[in-house]
Amino acid sequence: MQMVLDYYNYWICVVLMMIGFYGVMAKTNLIKKALSLSLFQTGILVFYISIGKVDGGTGPVTVEGATGVVYSNPLPHALMLTAIVVGVATLSVAMAIIVNIRERYGTIDEKDIEQMELESNE
C-alpha cells in the first residue's frame, strides 16, 4: 500500500495506459479503438510530465539573485508538447480513415467488416 502511495503518479499513468491498451485490444468499434489509443498515449504523456517534477522544485523560471532554488525539469514538458501534436495527428489520421471506412463499408465495427470481407472473399 505504501508503495502505491509513494509512487502514485506512476500508478496513475500505468492505470491510464492499461485502460487504453485494453480498449485497443478489446473494442471492435473503431472509434472507441482510436480513442483508447489516444488514452494510451496520454498515459505516457502523464508519465513524462510527472518525471519532470522535482521534489520541492519550483517553476523553471530563473529568480534574480536567489540561491539554492530547486527548479523542476522543463525538458520533459517541452517534449510532451511535441508528443501531444503527434497524438493529435495520429487521432486525426485515424478518424479520417474511419470516415472512409464508414463510407465504403457502411459500418465502423471491426467484426462486421471482417464478416463482409469473408463473404466477399477477396
Partner 1 sequence: MEWVHKHLPALIIMVPLCMGLVTAIIGRRGAGWYMAMGTTAATIAMAIQLLVNVLNTPGQSITYMHGNWPAPFGIAYVIDPLNAAILVIVALIAAIVTMYARKSVASEISVGKLHFFYGLWLFCITGLLGITITGDAFNLYVLLEISSLSTYTLVALGKDRNRRALTAAINYLVLGTIGACFYLAGIAYLYMATGSLNIADIAARMQDIYATWGTDSPQYQKTVIAGFALMAVGLSLKLALFPLHGWLPNAYTYAPSAVSALLASTATKVGAYAFIRVIFTLMGVDFAYHLLRTDVALLISSAAAILFGSFIAFRQTNVKKLLAYSSIGQVGYITMGFALGSVTGLTASVIHLFNHALTKGGMFLALGVVAYRVGNTKLQSLAGLGRKLPFTMGAFTAGGLGLIGVPLTAGFVSKWYLVSACLEAGRYELAGIVLVGSLIALLYTWKVVEVIYFGKRADDAAPMREAPLTMLVPTLLLIGGSLYFGIDSSLSAHIAETAARFVLGGTP
**Which residues are at the interface with partner 1 (CB under 8 A)?**
17, 21, 24, 30, 33-34, 37, 40-41, 44, 47-48, 51, 75-76, 79, 82-83, 86, 89-90, 93-94, 96-98, 100-101, 104-105, 110, 113, 117, 122
CA-to-CA separations, 11 to 21, 47, 115, in angstroms, rounded? 15, 9, 39
Residue 58 CB, shortest distance to partner 1, in Å, is 19
Angle at 73 between CA 69 and CA 75, to 5 degrees: 145
Task: Pick between residue 45 and residue 65 the one whose CB is nearest to partner 1.
Answer: 45
Angle at 73 between CA 91 and CA 77, to 5 degrees: 15
Residue 3 CB, shortest distance to partner 1, in Å, is 13
Task: Pick between residue 69 and residue 93 the one whose CB is nearest to partner 1.
Answer: 93
Task: Pick between residue 54 and residue 63 the one whose CB is nearest to partner 1.
Answer: 54
Report the half-sphere exposure of 120 (CA within 13 A, side-chain side). Answer: 8
Task: Pick between residue 64 and residue 103 the one whose CB is nearest to partner 1.
Answer: 103
- Report the SS3 class of residue 48: helix
